[in-house]
Structures are given as C-alpha cells and as structure tokens.
Chains A and B, each alone.
Chain A
Amino acid sequence: MSAWLIQQSQALRLVLSRFRHNLLSTAFISLAIAVSLALPVIVYLILDSFSGVTTTLKSESNINIFLEPNIDNTVRDSIHNILASHTTIESFTFVPKEKALEQLAQTTANQNILAGLDHNPLPDAFFIQLSTLDSQSISALTEQLRTIDGVAEVQIDNAWLKRLNYLLTIGKKAMFVLVILLGFAVFAVIGNTIRMQILTQQEEIEVSQLIGATKSFIRRPFLYAGAAYGMIGGLFALLISSGVILLFNQSISALASEYQTKFSLHLPDFNVFLTTCLIAMIIGLLSAYLAVSKSLFKSIN
C-alpha cells in the first residue's frame, strides 16, 4: 500500500471510530442535516412528478387546422390524405364550415349575432389528436402542416399546458432558493460540529503538532468527518423524503382516481440519490475545510 493510501485509511478509520464512540451525537447531527436536505428533495420530487404529468398530457393536446375559405374539394381531400398517412397523428375529424356554423347557432346568444351576418365567416377545419409525446416532433408536424396548400392556420391547443409549465418554473425557482438557503444551513451545522470537535481534540492536535504531525495529517480526519456527516445526512434525507412521499401517495392516488387518472409522486431514484449525497458531501467537505483552516492553526505556528 502506498503512503498516501495508508494516510487516507488511517484518517478514515479514526473518523469511523470517533463516530462509533459518539453514536448518539453523530445521529443527531446527521438528522439535523437530513431534515435540511429532505425539504428540497421532497420539493424536487413533487416538481418532477408534475413535469411527468405534462409530458403524458401532451399526448392529449390537439392541433387544429383551419383551411382557407372557398377552397375546392380536391384540395380538401389531399389534405385529408396527408393527415391519414401521418404516423404521429392518432386520429382526426373534419368539421365543415356549415356544421361549425350550426354548432355555433345552437345557442341563442350567438343566433342574434349570426343573424346579422350575410355569409358564413367560419372556415373548414380538421381537429387532430396526436399520438406522440415528443414536443420536437409535434413542432415538426405543425411546421409541416403550415406548408400544405390550402391551410390557413395551425393552432396548437396547449394553453393550459403552458400555464402548468409556468407554475413548474416558479416551483423550480422556489426549489433553487430552498437548496441555496438550506445548503447554507447544512454548511453551518457541519462547520460548527467540526469546530466543536476541534475544541475537544485541542490537546491531541497540539501534541501531534509538537511531535511532527503535518497540517494535512491533522486536517484530514476533520475533512473526512465533514464529508461523512454530509453523506450520512444525505442518506437520512432520502429516507425521510421517501417516507413523506409514501405517506402522501396513498391519499394522492385516491384523489387522482376520483378524476379517473393515475397519478402518484415519484420516489427518489438513483440520480436523486447520487446528487443529494454528492452535494451534501461537497458541502460537508468545504465547511469542514473552512472550519479547520480558521480554528486549527491559530495557536501553534
């Protein structure tokens, strides 16, 4: 084993034995970190679950094509054929302008308005149901539809989807703010913990320096401790957020089934696991480094 590896394993074993000897305080500190981390994780999972909804519901979004007025039947039939052959189109219906006018005239309020018109102002229209979720192929399709002869206007009916997306964007910003603020909280908790540990080990540090310990030798266990607090806190945070989500999911699924849909919040997946633990570890490491540099080498030169 190289000297470097020996040093690392030495520091790691020291940290683990310190944790083992102070199991209760380690657990409490990790829990405090975990609570701070769990909040943004839960918010993320909620947002992630809802952006899942926006992609599934895109399939239910419609494209409406309005044709130019007074086109002849051959053009209309050729458009019909193009739509029929398109794979991204699930189904479509054709509504001729006469029928649209009839539908419009079914309400009395409209009847009065329509009575004042001398001709039918409505165009022929195709209402298209899409079979794809992919927004790129949807916009490709719209572009293509716009170029067809006889098509006056292509309308994508997804206004509510836009609203949901705006809400999600706001949610994401809120999460970002949470991550920053609670990241500072974790930073402070770990930093203070490390400072306390430095205080309790002041004698050992002093003696070690007197008999030839390098700064990095003294610093190393504290850095490991900071990273370990972060990691353990991250793991606890995932447990907490999973628990919270499971607790809510029953009621949420029940509510969703009342609307004839299936919806539940996602549990943390591997990416969430990795990101949470990594970020927590990095915060712990930085915080420990700062604490050690600030308070360790003040007294002894």
Chain B
Amino acid sequence: MIVLDNVTKRYPSSQEALSNASLTIEQGEMVYVTGHSGAGKSTLLKMIAAIERPTSGTVLINNQNVSKLRPSALPYIRRKFGLVFQDHKLLYDRNCYHNVALPLSINGITGEDAGKRIRAALDKVGLLNKEKAMPITLSGGEQQRLAIARAVVSRPAILIADEPTGNLDKNYADDILDLFNAFQQVGATVIIATHDALGAARKQHKIFHLDHGRLTQPEASA
C-alpha cells in the first residue's frame, strides 16, 4: 500500500511542483495520474518511487516512511518498483538482453537463473526474437516494450510508468496498456502517468488528476 500524506515538493528556485498531495493506492490497484505537462506527474511518481524526497509531508510504502529512511537504505526501497521512464532510459551500448539484465544484476542475480527471467520478460512484451538486437534498431513501440521488460524482469510488486504511451500511435498504445492490465491481473500495483485523460478514462480505473501541482480527489470514471 502506498500512502502520501500532505506531500509538498519544492525545487530550488522554482514554485512548488507538488502541493499538499495526499493519496492512497491499495495493493493490486491500477491507477492513472493525469494532468497537463508540467502539472507535477513526474514529481509525484518520483516521490512514490523514492527517487526524490518530499520537501514536507510523508510518503509511506508498505508502512515504511520513505522520508525518514537513511540515504543508504533508499536503493533497497527502489528495488520494490519497476520503473518505465518517460524517456525510456535504455542503454544504447548493449543489446536488448543486456538492457533487461541490468535490474537483475543489481539484485545480484546472474547466470542461468537470470537468463530464464530475462527471456521470460522479453517474451511477455513480444521481443523474444530481438534479444540480440541493439535498442537503437528498434521502433518506438518496441523500445517502449523493452523498457517495460526491464521494469518487470525483477518481478516488482509495484509498476510505475511515466507517459508510457506518449509518442506512440493508437495501436501501439493499446498494446502497451494491455500489457499493464496483464500485470495488474497477476497482482501487481500499476501506476501510470499520462497527459491523455481520455485514454485513461476509457480504462475505468481510479484517476488522480493534477493541476499545477494540486491533486484533485480521485474520481471513478464511468
């Protein structure tokens, strides 16, 4: 369970990116964070994933107060999350297989065990036949799916995706959203940030809407 209580984030020399945000996300839920660009979606996700600390307020992940953790404990919290970044953050100096291998190697999983899990993750996103391909040779949708494979390979309990369908045409975007649905169905908590409110609404999930850093209460869409 993820709880944000009165979370404010202020970056140096700028206005508040997030103001007094409070929300609760239950385990196994799939939620959307919507809002125009610059509304604070990425900031909210970074707070949840323990990448940044709030200026004030508390962030609880499974009843652990992230704001109070020692910096050296943060990496271990981050491993609970599978992250799909807005800009993919794929590594272009290595092939698909080794891109997906990175989270496992951080967790100390190597060798045959890792190989099986990497191929399973690539298979899930439909890239098993591209394991030796370099990311630069992949299409935009394929790169996005590779980023998802990397996010799920260590079987995180919480999957966070920042604009996962951002630059994709509708068919690709639907594929990706289906993938996230599949992960939710096997028990993962899924948090997706998107500026595409319509696409989100269609999916009938809890929506947190951000407007200039302010959170409007979740609405169950029709």
Q: Which residues of A contact B (CB under 8 A)?
A: 3, 6-7, 10, 203-204, 206-215, 217, 301
Contacts and interface: CB of A to CB of B under 8 A. Distances in A.
Interface string B47-86: 0010111000000000000000001100111110101010
Given A203-B91, A204-B91, A211 B106 contact: yes
A211 B108 contact: no
Nearest to B71: A301
B110 interface: yes
Contact of B110 (A10, A206, A213): A10
Interface residues of B, number: 24
Nearest to A217: B106
B105 interface: yes
B128 to A, nearest CB: 22
A210 B162 CA distance: 14
B75 A212 contact: yes
Contacts of B105: 10
25 contacts: A6-B108, A10-B105, A204-B102, A206-B89, A207-B102, A208-B102, A208-B106, A209-B75, A210-B78, A210-B83, A210-B85, A210-B89, A211-B79, A211-B81, A211-B83, A211-B103, A211-B106, A212-B75, A212-B78, A213-B75, A214-B72, A215-B72, A215-B75, A217-B75, A217-B106
A76 B108 CA distance: 86
Interface string B10-38: 00000000000000000000000000000
Interface in B87-134: 89, 91, 93, 102-103, 105-108, 110
Contacts of B75: 209, 212-215, 217
A208 B79 CA distance: 10
B110 A211 contact: no
B106 A3 contact: no
Contacts of A210: 49, 51, 78, 83, 85, 89
Contacts of B79: 211-212
Given A210-B51, A301-B53, 17 more contacts: A3-B108, A6-B110, A10-B105, A10-B110, A203-B89, A203-B91, A204-B93, A211-B79, A211-B83, A211-B102, A212-B75, A212-B78, A212-B79, A212-B106, A214-B75, A215-B72, A217-B106
